[in-house]
Amino acid sequence: MTPQIIFISISAVAGLIIIALITGIILETQFRKKLKKALDRPEAMDAFRESWPPSKLVKHSLRMERLAKIWGKSVISDTGIAPLWADKMETRPTKRALKRVLYHSPKVFVCRAFLTGLKNKRLTPVLTTWINETGPEQALRQISQSCRGEAFDGTEAHKLISPLLADNLDPIIEFTGASEWYTRYFAYKVLLHDQDKRSKRAAWDGFFDTHPLIRNTLAIEFSSDERNKLYTQLWELLLEDPSFEVRKSSKMRILQDFADLHTPSEKKLTGTPALRFLQLLEDGSPDEINIAMEFLSSTDLELRFPAASFLERNGILEKLLLTSTMEDRVVLERNLSMLKMALEVNVSSFLKKIGSNSTPGALLTAAKLLNQGGDRKMLAPLAEAIFSFFEKEKPGPEYIEIYTTLLSGIKKRGNDAALQQMFNEIKSRRNQEPFLELLLPAIPTRGDSLFIPLLIDFLKTDEFPSRETLITTLVKMPAELILPNIFEILDGNRADYSHTIRISCLRLLGRLKLPYCLQCILEYLPILPREEALEFAEILNEYPREEFEKKAAALFKTTDGQIRAALIRVLPPIENRTFIKEIRNALKDADPDVRIAAIEALLSFGEIRLLNQETSMLRDPVERVRLATARVIGEYGVPAALTVLEDILKDENETRPVIKAAIAGLGASATPESLNLLIGMLDQDLPYTQEIIAALSERQSKKDLMQLIENFRGGSPALKDHLIEVFKTQEKNAEPALLKLLEEQDDSLKAYIAEILHGTGYIGKTIRKLSHREIKIRKQAAIWLSSLESTASYRGLVLAARDPDQEIRVLVVKALERLNNPEGSEILEALKNDPDRRIRKYTLWAMERLKALALE
Amino acid sequence: MTEKTESILSHDEILKTLTEAKPLLFDKGCHENSLAALVEKAIEITHSDLAAYYQINRISVRKTNLCLIYKKFRRPLPEILPGEGELVSFILDCRETVLKLSSNEDSDEKLFSEILLHPSMKSGVAIPIISETAEGVSYVTGILYVNSKTNNFYNRSRFLLLENLSKLAMGFIKRCDNEDSPKNVPLKEGVVV
């Protein structure tokens, strides 16, 4: 390398350096110019910030620091670099960073610098130097005024400040009277840890500070030798402070440090203090659970709400729900009433605990609750649980209440999911009448679109068991959704739908009460059998009478005998005598059905004058006309009519069906004469005995029973046997009446009633009740058997002397003592020879006892 | 009182006799003394010839026997009676007083002949004494036997007196049982009249 080249190179480098220096000087001059301009004229600051944003300036912190020394702190505050310095100090705490904030930043950042210096021990000397340089009082005032309630370690702060103030914290105590809360907050944070009496007194006053953060800080951090006083103060904060944060801190402090003094159950809380206490109950504390249980039944809903929420959070409501049992109704009702209280304040999440493994008691409680309120969504899972319970367990009748309560809840409040559950249940129970009788009435009208297709399917099913309930359910549904289906069936081919289905449809159509369907209804009337036609008449009565008569008059003129017969049948029940002339003429109608309908109608209208004409109809060439006539005359029951029937019964040439009809007619009559006539025939042992027994078994009024028993008393053995058959046929219907007679009548009929009841098997049934598991039933049976005083009843009664219940045993002994008379001896003698050794044993025991009682 | 038991006593007289018996039963202080008083009193108020109290011991679930606790009769009586007899099973079954007024040999009337504890006896009464467990379940704790050498000796008055005396005793025994288990009561020598 030649010297020339070296010289050129050096010159070039020097030149470049000079250029760079010149450029730097120019740029620095321009920057300073711009900054100065911006500092002098605030409107120019925005333009400066655009080219020199704080994020860019922060990279020139040294330069800014120098300029701040020249032009003052406004260089830092106005350019917006100060917050970035403070942030940088907190993220990367260095002595320089801390100094920048303390010495060059605005005062508002002093507190942040203080906290950084407090946290980082190696920076603390910088902080103390600054405090000392500024003057401790002045510096602390700046710190307290720049503080905004930041959390910091009060102990460390106290350790730092106390020596700086030569252990005299009077200036800090003075801060507690500052108007700004943050200054007071800073002061209390420091004073809390000072043991000087004045500081302590100042700290006590802090409990009454207007700012919640200060009261909260004191509740958490203040400590004192006066434990009782501090506990009382915290208890007051807990009950009286309007700030939830302060109350919460007070409660936590009490639980943490004053558990030994804390006895809330001994304090009678009411009103707002009670509410505040209830809002902060301690989870899992048995004492506080008890308090909450008390408030659960409060009439003040504001107090009940936090109590219920707490109990729910602690699983108590869930426990009340799940421990309810059907076996203990008292507990169930008590739990239910408590849970209802919770429900009234919309606390109901505990119901989510119901599942398929819940007990019947829990299911019933949940169903009752959801009937009343709670989240409607829960009805669906409850329905699933209950339906599954009834599917798996095949529960007894005592559980039906669970089922019906659920259905009532779904009807009232069920959402789509619950209705879907119900829909599935109905579908699966389509052949089970007892369930259908409960399910169908529970279908709500709002579920029309979901349920109607299924209900129509049921309507079209011949074997559907709950037809009547189905019709009642469909009537409640919107007619526009049902009518097309009804007419599809009625107008359809007879082979497609059975007679039963068509009858159901007509009844449904009638009950819909649509005046514009009246003509169709009347034309389809022949579908209905006689008995149903009479019932249907009531429905027709609710249609406009004028319209009905107009249409009926037109139909009477048609050739269709079936329609005329059907029309005639419905007239008497609705007491419409407009067509009496037409009915009279119908007695001579060519159609036998019209003639039968006419006879029935006329007698129902009380047309006695026609009796002769009707009796002549007993000779009608068509047997079923003769049959119907006989039955109608019997039902009508005037003496003249009965004489006619008696003549028929005596007529050896009369056909058997007519005689049977006459007997049935006498059975249907309500007069004593007809009864005597039948009993008389029974005594003659005629070939129609079974028909007479059947007819007599229909006579179950008290008067009739008396008459039957009277005849039994004086009757021949054969008649007695027949009458026993009558009572047996009457079965359960006659028994209550016989028992009532037993209570009301004198002893004259007792033996006969006992004999009858023995014959019907009632006594045997009652004796079996003596081994029933329920005391009540056994006792009732023993009372009844003892009142009967017959050998048959005592045969069972003596065995009841071994009943585990003393009351029943006493009853038996008393009953046996009543046998201490000649009639009783007969019973005892009979029982003494009973084939059953146990009966003989108890009888002997009773006899010895009676013998002793009779000895003087 | 002695004369009055020979004829029917009025309700008030029965009450008076029992009132006199009450302090004797209750003042004896302990279970076995009280049972002794019961036996003594049964003899005294009815003028019977024999009285004994047998306690029921449950040996196993199905087997029981009766153990003599106290007697008032000059001759020896069985110290253990079987628990499977007609009388005991009847009493355990129905818990009622059983009477045997004569010792006929008629087939069915032989029933309950175990009431008569000695061949010389003609009529007798067996009265169940019922106690109660702490859970409130009642059970027959023993049987008081009272016998006489006379047929038809137990008339209305004696029967009612014995029934009521046993009720008084039951009240006391129930109280005693709470403090002292009857199983621990030692067999006491009979007192010879």
Number of domains in chain B: 1
DSSP bridge pairs for B54:
B68, B143
Q: ipTM score of the complex? A: 0.82
Whether residues A852 and B156 touch (CB distance < 8 A) is answered with yes
* Bridge partners, residue B128, by sequence: B143
Of A503-512, A579-588, A605-614, B5-14, least confident by mean pLDDT is B5-14
- Whether residue A841 and residue B111 make contact (CB cut-off 8 A), yes or no, is yes
Of B96, B98, B152, the CB nearest to A855: B152
Note whether residue B2 is domain-resident.
no
Min Cα distance A321 → chain B (Å) is 29
pLDDT reported for residue B4: 38
Q: Please give the structure tokens belonging to residue A752.
A: 């006969």
Which token pair is A76?
């830092």
B168 assigned to some structural domain: yes
Residue of chain A with shortest Cα separation from B9:
A856
Residues of A in contact with B151 (CB under 8 A): none
Best probe of the B interface among A812, A845, A847, A850, by most B CBs < 10 A, is: A845
Q: What is the pLDDT of residues A555-569, one digit of tens each?
A: 888 888 888 888 888
Q: Work out the minimum CA distance from A836 to partner chain B, whole angstroms.
A: 12
Strand partners, B124: B100, B147
Residue A464 phi, psi dihedral angles, 5° rounding = -60, 125
Q: Which of A801, A853, A855 is closest, CB to CB, to B96?
A: A801
Q: Outline where A268-315 has alpha helix (H).
A: 271-279, 286-296, 301-313
Q: Mutate which of A778, A808, A848 to test chain B, going by most B C-beta atoms within 10 A? A: A848
Please, which pLDDT band fits residue B144 given cuts at 50, 70 and 90? very high
Percentage with pLDDT > 90 across chain A: 4
Q: Residue B141 falls within a domain, yes or no?
A: yes
Minimal Cα–Cα distance from B14 to chain A, Å? 14
Q: How far is B187 from chain A (nearest CA, A)?
A: 30
The 3-class secondary structure across A200-215, one letter per residue, is HHHHHHHHHCCCHHHH
Nearest to A817 by CA among A852, A850, A789: A850
Q: Kindly report, residue by residue over B146-162, the tens digit of the pLDDT.
A: 999 998 899 988 988 88
Going by pLDDT thresholds of 50, 70 and 90, the confidence category of residue A610 is low
Residue B193 falls inside a structural domain: no
What's the gap in Å between the CA of B145 and the closest CA on chain A? 16
Each residue of B30-52: pLDDT tens digit? Answer: 566 678 888 888 888 889 999 99
Mean pLDDT, residues A824-849 taken together: 77
Q: Which domain holds residue B35?
A: 11-178
Task: Say if B92 falls within a structural domain.
Answer: yes
Least confident among B116-120, B159-163, B179-183:
B179-183
Average pLDDT of span A391-397: 73
Residues of A with CB under 8 A from a CB of B: 801-803, 806, 809, 813, 832, 840-842, 844-845, 848-849, 851-856
Query: A712-736 b/e with 16+ CB inside 10 Å = b?
Result: beebeeebbebbbbbbbbbeeebbe
| pLDDT value of residue B126 | 94
Nearest-5° Cα angle at A709, A706 to A713: 135
Nearest chain A residue to B8 by CA: give it. A856
Which of residues A478 and A169 earns the better pLDDT score? A478
Look at the block and give the residue holding tokens 């250029």.
A19
Cβ atoms of A760 and A727 closer than 8 Å: yes
Instruction: Kindly state the DSSP code that residue B129 receives in the 8-state scheme.
Output: E
Residue B76 lies in a domain: yes
CB contact burial A136-164 (16+ within 10 A = b; e otherwise): beebbbbbbbbbeeeebebebbbebbbee
CATH number, domain with residue B124 = 3.30.450.40
Confidence of residue B123 (pLDDT cuts 50, 70, 90): very high
Of B8, B90, B109, the CB nearest to A856: B8
Q: Would you call B156 and A856 a contact, using CB atoms and an 8 Å cutoff? A: yes
Give CA torsion, residues A96, A102, A105, A107, to 10 deg. 170
A809 and B95 within 8 Å at the Cβ level: the answer is yes
- Chain A closest CA to B154's CA: distance in Å? 6
Flag if B156 and A848 touch (Cβ within 8 Å): no
Q: What is the pLDDT of residues A92-138, one digit of tens each?
A: 888 888 888 888 788 888 888 888 888 888 888 888 888 888 888 88
Residue B100 inside a domain? The answer is: yes
> Which tens digit of pLDDT belongs to each residue from A697-752?
888 777 888 788 778 777 788 887 888 778 777 766 677 777 776 776 556 667 77
Closest among A478, A470, A434, A433 to A454, alpha carbons compared: A470
Q: Which of A122-131, A290-299, A418-427, B108-117 has the lowest mean pLDDT?
A: B108-117
Would you say residue B96 has pLDDT above 80?
Answer: yes
pTM of the model: 0.54
From the CA of A848, how many Å to the nearest CA of chain B?
6
Confidence of residue B176 (pLDDT cuts 50, 70, 90): low
**Of the candidates A813, A844, A853, which has its C-beta nearest B109's C-beta?**
A844
The whole-chain average pLDDT of chain A stands at 83
In a domain, B6, yes or no: no
Task: List the single residue in A806, A841, A853 with the smallest CB-CB distance to B159.
Answer: A853
Whether A851 sits inside 8 A of B93 (CB atoms) is no
